[in-house]
Amino acid sequence: MSLPKSYQQNFSPQEINFLAEQELVTVIPRYSMNGAQLIGAKMPKLRALNREQIPLWLATLLKKQEKCNIVVPEWLSVEYLRVRYDEEIKYPSKFSNLPWHWLPIAKKLLDYASDDFIDPPHEIRSLLQDLREVRLVKARKGIRELNHVYIQLDGLSLMEINEIRPFILEVMDQLRKMNDSLKVKAEEEMPRQAAAQMDRDEDSDDDIYQKE
């Protein structure tokens, strides 16, 4: 039994989360720790209270062990997210500037480091949800109107693209079928149009002979 086409075409949520967890974030270690060679990555030597960039997955691991605090990115602030939301409403044909993995990174930090946020986490969650919904509506609307208006889908994140990919494929398949149908209809019309033109030419010749 084969997987559904939507699963064959899309990344799984686990795959997207794995990619997002490789992104670097800044941490403030509570203790000094020696560096270590890990599978696929190297943890640098960490000094207490000295900022260091490490992969998100390692940062959340140390956070769970209460060995560090995570410096929340500037884009995960109420002010920044409100500006991005206002841009989404103001410009219906393009998407605001957000990180490639903004959704899974935000979720991970809210789940494991909510106490490190400067702004109230519940406000951040609400704004993230609003942003996600308005961008999804814009993306679907833009895809439906592919043959009428232009929309910049290049501003979408990986998770957003992954979510709408089945819808894009469906719309593109419908457009392809419509195009094929128009081609067949045009090919069927060509002999009739040619015959009609020949009849008009013959009638024109008859008129000339009658005048002579």
pLDDT digits (tens, 9 = 90+) for 70-114: 999 999 999 999 999 999 999 988 899 999 999 999 999 999 999
pTM as predicted = 0.75
Sequence ranges of the domains in the chain: 11-71
Would you say 21 and 65 are in contact if contact means Cβ atoms under 8 Å apart?
no
For residue 163, the model assigns a pLDDT of 87
Q: Per-residue pLDDT for 167 more than 70?
A: no
% residues pLDDT > 70 (the chain): 67
CATH architecture for the domain at 11-71: 3-Layer(aba) Sandwich (3.40)
β-pairing, 68-71 with 24-29?
Answer: antiparallel
Supply φ then ψ for residue 24, to 5 degrees: -85, 140
What is the Rg, in whole angstroms, of the alpha carbon atoms belonging to the chain? 29
> What's the mean per-residue pLDDT of the chain?
82
Helix %, strand %, coil % of the chain (to 5):
60, 10, 30
The DSSP call for residue 155 is G
pLDDT tens for 9-39 read: 578 889 999 999 999 999 999 999 988 767 6
Give 17's contacts (C-beta < 8 A, 6+ positions apart).
104, 108
